[in-house]
Amino acid sequence: APVLLLSGVERRYRQGEATLNILSGADIALAAGETVALVAPSGAGKSTLLHIAGLLEHADGGEIDIGGRPTSRLSDSERTMLRRTRIGFVYQFHHLLPEFSAIENVMLPQMVLGLSKAEARRRAAELLSYLGLEKRLTHRPAELSGGEQQRVAIARAVANAPRLLLADEPTGNLDPRTADHVFNALLQLVRASGLAALIATHNLDLAARMDRQVTLRDGRIEPLG
Ligand code: ADP
Ligand code: ADP
């Protein structure tokens, strides 16, 4: 089964008297290990699509399957558990907890799932070292560069070994050179872990490094170009 399958996904927002059809039959399937870039103009619905795929927001129609499992009839707590165990998120802004160190930020999601502190620490140190942050483990977010903050956010997103990574402009807040490095580190980790990834980006150069590029047109997903 695909890691992520969206079939006929619909989402509309009311705006006064009008209805905005943001998604109107969006379809996509991501196989294990497949990396897909989502490239579309601002307002096209990229964030909405990622939130729905990540079970953070409900669709108005269609079906979202995660690892072959339909999600529409799941309870909120079942959705939350599926999200915590199967899906990792990276946002444009790191959203790290400012009072906690880099390693603690990566330990926390694991401890929420019941791992021991020692196990969580081992995994967090391994991930942060893989991302080149072995000398930054005890730094707080404010003591890290923008690129380093995003690397910590990436480590946190994959800390619980999800099968799917969703990212919304993960390097959109970084200067071009740093964006390039961080994006490469992200892709290397995704590929080494066999993760499927759906990544929204405005950067065509970065998008070209992924297996496939899609766009959103009139609420549907189409091949880019
Ligand atoms: P993108 O990520 O491609 O910029 P979004 O998914 O953020 O697009 O937004 C798509 C459209 O939906 C935009 O026009 C936005 O204003 C609208 N929108 C997003 N969220 C809401 C909401 N909660 N209520 C009303 N309109 C929304
Ligand atoms: P990137 O985020 O892609 O690593 P940066 O330009 O942010 O690119 O940093 C380049 C390298 O310089 C980083 O990998 C980091 O190890 C080091 N570095 C960044 N900021 C600092 C800092 N404030 N003090 C010491 N070293 C730093």
Residue linked to tokens 């129609």:
61
Q: Which residue's alpha carbon is nearest to atom 11 within ligand 1?
A: 43
Residues with CB under 6 A from ligand 2: 132, 145, 147-148, 178, 181-182
Q: Which residue's alpha carbon is nearest to atom 16 within ligand 1?
A: 43
CA of 95 to the centre of ligand 1 (A): 20
Instruction: Using most ligand atoms within 8 A of CB, pick from 12, 21, 22, 217 the residue to mutate for ligand 1.
Output: 22
Q: What is the pLDDT of residues 39-50, one digit of tens each?
A: 999 999 999 999
Q: What is the pLDDT of residues 197-223, one digit of tens each?
A: 999 999 999 999 999 999 999 999 999
Q: Residues, the chain, total?
A: 225
DSSP letter at 200 equals E
Sort strands 196-200 and 212-217 into parallel, antiparallel or unpaired: unpaired
CA of 48 to the centre of ligand 1 (A): 6
Residue 60 in this model has a pLDDT that exceeds 90: yes
In ligand 1, which atom is closest to the CA atom of 50? 6
Helix (H, G, I), strand (E, B) or coil at 217: strand
For residue 2, CA distances in Å to 50, 59, 75, 103, 155 come to 16, 19, 22, 32, 24
CA distance 147 to 93: 11
Q: Which residue's alpha carbon is nearest to atom 23 within ligand 1?
A: 13
* Strand ranges inside 31-111, DSSP E: 35-38, 61-66, 69-70, 87-90
In ligand 1, which atom is closest to the CA atom of 51? 6
- Name beta bridge partners: 13: 20
Q: What is the pLDDT of residues 121-152, one digit of tens each?
A: 999 999 999 999 999 999 999 999 999 999 99
Give ipTM to 2 decimals: 0.71
Q: Which pTM was predicted?
A: 0.90
| Pair of tokens at residue 13 | 């927002």
Helix (H, G, I), strand (E, B) or coil at 22: strand
At residue 81, what are phi and psi to the nearest 5 degrees?
Answer: -65, -40
